[in-house]
Structure 1
Amino acid sequence: MSEPVSALSGAVSEGFATIREIGPLGMITLRAKADVKALPKAIKAAVGTGVPATRRIVVEGDRACGWMSPDEYLLVMPYSAVPAALEAIAKAMGTAHHLAADVSDARAVFRVEGAKADQVLAKLSPVDFAALAEGELRRTRAAQVAAAFWKEGDGFTVVCFRSVGRYVFDLLAMSAKPGSELG
């Protein structure tokens, strides 16, 4: 079996905030209506968390479950844990209507860290970062591409499609150039 390769081989950029690629990271898109009785059991079995509230992400160690839309959840885990998580979801969901897909290799994931990390994303996304709470997940745009991010610790985790990974990394790095801080 071949080893997974991240989109940008661990790229890092230092500015007034640090931008670094995380990867490879395991991710499963789980589609199911929120009222499906087996959903909480499936999420718990896959990543050990509960079902997140609207626009929230629940993080437990190196695993998480984020609300992406009324019938979509993003499950995050170590890359090697994906096959077992998919099996756990299938077992827990049984015959309940759902879709669970491994999207690990289709995504690029970055961390934007530092005291002014919010300024990097504020230049790119139509989000009120002063009101963005810890554990709140936003599915929006970074300049002209789809992205999702959440605040965690001293920064943000940013997820985008792998096909635009270099573009997003370069956007983040340019937005973090020293001397370009807001205000």
Structure 2
Amino acid sequence: MWPAARGRGLTSGFFAGGGARLSSATGLPAERDRPRVISPHRPPRAEEPPGTFILKALPATDDPSQTLIPAAAGAGYGVNAKAKNPELALRFVNFVMSPEGMNLFVKKQGGLPSLPDTGFAVDPSLTELSRFIRANRTVPFMDQRWPNAKVQQTMLSGLQEIFSGQSTLRSLLKDMDSDYQAGS
């Protein structure tokens, strides 16, 4: 286990109301009830079942006060020194970082503003995450502290190999540990 996560309550979950009918033959969702991508940030489509999404921290220990939740800024902006129109690019960056631009961006994206006091009304699905951020009970996502990009590349390709039956979890973790130990 990586040092940043060792002994910490680092779990979260995304829940949707409602249920799904499973096929008795396969144990998978029946065709008419198969999982679909449903977003809390747009009206449901006619074929989508109604549901309410909320982000909840899942306690990782018997002490809820030790539970942390991964959170991080989703993007950074800058202007390339060789941009064809650096003034326009800088105006865009300034707009995105303004309260008006940030609120528009996070409303469309489905996130939280990175700056306080923008007047943004938090989507109810993100209320708990917002509370954890205000209480300083967040940690970076694990890959943000990995010493090199190879660890994540190994994880992503290894997961594909596990799902296709070409590898095992034990093998993937061994390979990731090796990449992690290699450092930067």
Shorter-normalised TM-score: what interval?
Answer: under 0.3
Higher strand share: 1
Please give the TM-score of this superposition, normalised by the length of structure 2. Answer: 0.24
Instruction: Using CA pairs under 8 Å that are at least 6 residues apart, name the structure with larger relative contact order, 1 or 2.
Output: 1
For the pair shown, the structure with the greater C-alpha radius of gyration is 2
Please give the TM-score of this superposition, normalised by the length of structure 1. Answer: 0.24
Higher helix share: 2
